[in-house]
Amino acid sequence: MSESNTQVAVRRRRPSFTWSPLVVIVIANVLLLIYLQVVAGQNLFEPRTLSTLTPLLGVMILVGLAQAFVIGTGGIDLSIPSVITLMGIMMLRESQGRDDLLPKALLVAAVVCIVIGLLNGVLVEVIGLNALVTTLATGQVILGATVIYREGALSITRVPETLSSWAQANVAGVSLIFIVAVVLAVLILFFVRRTVTGRRLVLASASSRASRLTGQRNLALRVLAWVAGALIAGIGGVLLAGQLSSPDMSSGTPYLLLSIVVVVLGGAVLTGGRVGPFATLFGAVFIILLDHGLAVQGVSTGARTLVQGLVLALGLAGVGLLLKPRRSTSRRIETPGTPPTTPELELQHS
């Protein structure tokens, strides 16, 4: 083998590092953690701080995973905050604050989430309505119905003791809500990587045209993504209600922008086709740590909301820059008889 061929072979064997949204958000979390822990002097790992941050983080992860399913199809679900609020009020009224009625309340909540997910999915995927306008409208309908629904049980102000005790419990300062969220992220990763239905959902969400070319019936699976998103948001709403003990009509309001921010920070493309459960998890970690750091330093709520908007804009710009080189290098000349390139939804990228 000549010297030039040997050099080429060595270059081919040399591992190459590729910047990805997951790598970037992990690095951003490490830098933010170092700043808060070392520079700002905030002891984030003491049990008292963990017991405050991890339930917030757990709910944020669940809300982000719910939005991720929808963003993977190219849509955005603006009804998620209303679903979260409805779940809290439902835990009050359906259970009447009694432990023995909690299973009934949970069952009713699950059915309602499925109906909401189906409604949104059919309106967007089957009828073809715009996702933003549709979910904004359904969110307002859900919120108005929740107000009327709440008036029938104004005297009930606390969720059942079993729910609040469980949602407020922790292990060495780490909230059970956070543990549930991480386990769910693992299950979603397993579902989309290791099951036939999950892989078909990945393909259907990545591209309607691609799934038709491979013979998949993608419409039902795309609607399934909306149902899954509503159910996960419902789980987040129920656990948030338990954490708060006395949920009100503003419980879901903070998650309108944040549910999108954490998914974008994980590298999501809002046109669909790139969402990762663990990247979304790290996006949630970043936004919760950032908000906590700003709050401890006395930054006002309005200024923190402004920062969240800036983070969303920077996240979108960063994802675009990261994907641009890949798109340019992935182009190829197609010859007659060459099968079309199938885009891949990276929901399975952790």
Q: Quick: pLDDT tens for 47-61.
A: 888 888 999 999 999
**Alpha helix stretches (DSSP H) within the chain:** 3-13, 21-34, 47-71, 80-93, 102-121, 131-151, 161-167, 176-194, 196-206, 208-213, 218-244, 255-265, 277-296, 301-329
Residue 126 pLDDT exceeds 80: yes
Number of independent structural domains in the chain: 1
> What is the reported pLDDT for 342?
42
Domain assignment present for 126? yes
> What is the reported pLDDT for 314?
77
> What is the reported pLDDT for 335?
45
How many whole angstroms separate alpha carbon 70 and alpha carbon 237? 17
- Minimum mean pLDDT range among 26-30, 150-154, 310-314, 330-334: 330-334
Domain assignment present for 315? no
Residue 141 pLDDT exceeds 60: yes
Q: What is the mean pLDDT of the chain?
A: 82
At residue 344 the predicted structure's pLDDT band, cuts being 50, 70 and 90, is very low
Domain assignment present for 108? yes
> What is the reported pLDDT for 32?
86
The tens digit of pLDDT for each residue in 8-36 reads: 554 555 556 576 777 888 888 898 899 88
- The residue among 115 and 263 whose pLDDT is bigger is 115
At residue 320 the predicted structure's pLDDT band, cuts being 50, 70 and 90, is low
> What is the reported pLDDT for 323?
60
Domain assignment present for 311? no
How many whole angstroms separate alpha carbon 97 and alpha carbon 130? 39
> What is the reported pLDDT for 57?
94
Burial of 205 per CB tally in 10 Å (0-12, 13-18, 19+): buried
Domain assignment present for 318? no
How many whole angstroms separate alpha carbon 330 and alpha carbon 105? 50
Domain assignment present for 20? no
- Minimum mean pLDDT range among 116-125, 141-150, 185-194: 185-194
- Minimum mean pLDDT range among 69-83, 164-178, 213-227, 296-310: 213-227
Question: pTM of this prediction?
Answer: 0.83
Would you say 289 and 36 are in contact if contact means Cβ atoms under 8 Å apart?
yes
Which domain range does residue 207 map to?
47-253
Domain assignment present for 32? no
Domain assignment present for 200? yes
Residue 349 pLDDT exceeds 50: no
Q: Which range, 60-64, 189-193, 290-294, 308-312, has the best average confidence (pLDDT)?
A: 60-64
> What is the reported pLDDT for 337?
47
What is the arithmetic mean of pLDDT over 249-261?
89
What is the arithmetic mean of pLDDT over 179-185?
94
